[in-house]
Amino acid sequence: MYLQIKDVSKTFGTFTALSGVDLSIEKNEFVSLLGPSGSGKSTLLRLIAGLEQPTTGQVLIDGQDVTALPPYQRGIAMVFQDFLLFPHMTVRENLLFPLRMLRMNRDDAEERIDWCCRILSLTALKDRFPNQLSGGQQQRVALGRGLVCRPKVLLLDEPLANLDRELRRDMEIEIRSYQIQLGIPFVYVTHNQEEALSMSDKIAVVNKGGIEDFAEKSAVYDRPKTRFIAQFVGRSNVFTGPVEAATEGKAIQWHGQRIALGQALNDSNASSASAYIKIEDTLIEAANANPSGKIAGTLRDVIFRGQYAEYLVTVDGGQEVVASSIDSATRVKPGDPVLLSWDTAKLDVFPDEVAA
């Protein structure tokens, strides 16, 4: 493994920001640290960079223990949320600045700047000042200041947070393409799951100072290992209630509705559980369909999202369920009776209590 975080913990006084974190990242991987604010993801990034020292544990890069090394000796570059460009310097001068800090000779520095500008499509902008650039161009210069030193690892701390939605999407594609071209690990901190899912090879879900899961992005999304991931990654309906046995498998009693669990919990003694189904896996049909095994309700509203719509359904019992999967031939409007269903194999079920 190229970048290794071994049993790293970090405390600030009596507060534990990270506890027993282990991560192993290959040289060509794009990894996102995904989690809510205060989860510890930025602290972990700063520990990799050397801006903080771990209370316990090690950081290794390409087989070398860099835990005690200062940032400038680690071969790491970092891109922050704010562009942090010098307003009185041109693009070329902003890119030259970190090379001056390394005391690189002028010819080699110019070669590096030209190389960086080619990768980032900045060649025509080298003589412009930051206030003459768009937000996306400024972000590319900020990336360039990290890449121009040809680091072993590039760390990115929510670098797209200040960009508008459309520009953010464009930059997601660009950043991913840069990582593929350079073949070095990018470690990207974000609380935005769309960014993490669109760019990453793997996602480390960070929560309360620990790693809930570290896996391929499809696995994190499709098969969450913990209740927290099921709640945080994607949008899901959740059904919580007591578990009962049934002829076709166990089920949850949820506000008067019976939620069949398929094969889930068959080997468990859980007395109550929570089942999660993503809204895109929740199918809505007109009430004239076959009602067997489906949940009845009334369509309360339809929220248009552009490429798809969300159907807000009040089920019998008064609870609300959201669906975004619908047959193209189905025509329903607010106030219509409807039926909801899903493939029980797509449920993510987590036991709450185990019966004695």
What's the mean per-residue pLDDT of the chain? Answer: 92
* Contact assessment for residue 79 and residue 127, using Cβ atoms and an 8 Å cutoff: no
CA distance 50 to 200: 23
**H or E element that contains 107:** helix 106-120
Share of the chain above pLDDT 90, in %: 75
- pLDDT tens, residue by residue, 92-144: 999 999 999 888 999 999 999 999 999 888 999 999 999 999 988 998 999 99
- Indicate if the pLDDT at residue 157 is higher than 70: yes
Question: For position 353, what pLDDT does the model report?
Answer: 64
| C-beta of residue 233 within 8 angstroms of C-beta of residue 221 | yes
pLDDT at 43 over 90: yes
- CATH, range 3-229: 3.40.50.300
Q: What is the pLDDT of residue 10?
A: 98
- pLDDT at position 274 over 70: yes
pLDDT tens per residue, range 197-243: 999 999 999 999 999 999 999 999 999 999 999 999 999 999 999 99
Q: What is the average pLDDT across 312-323?
A: 93
Q: Which CATH architecture has domain 235-354?
A: Beta Barrel (2.40)
Q: Give the C-alpha separation, 60 to 66, whole Å.
A: 6
pLDDT at position 330 is: 81
pLDDT bracket for residue 328 (50, 70, 90):
confident
| Across 28-37, 199-208, 271-280, 288-297, least confident range | 288-297
Q: What's the mean pLDDT in 38-56?
A: 96
User: Amino acid identity, residue 349?
Assistant: V
Q: Tell me which amino acid residue 206 is.
A: V
Please compute the mean of the pLDDT values over residues 238-255 and round it to a whole number: 88
- Beta-sheet pairing, 56-61 with 210-216: unpaired
Parse the chain into domains and list their residue ranges.
3-229, 235-354
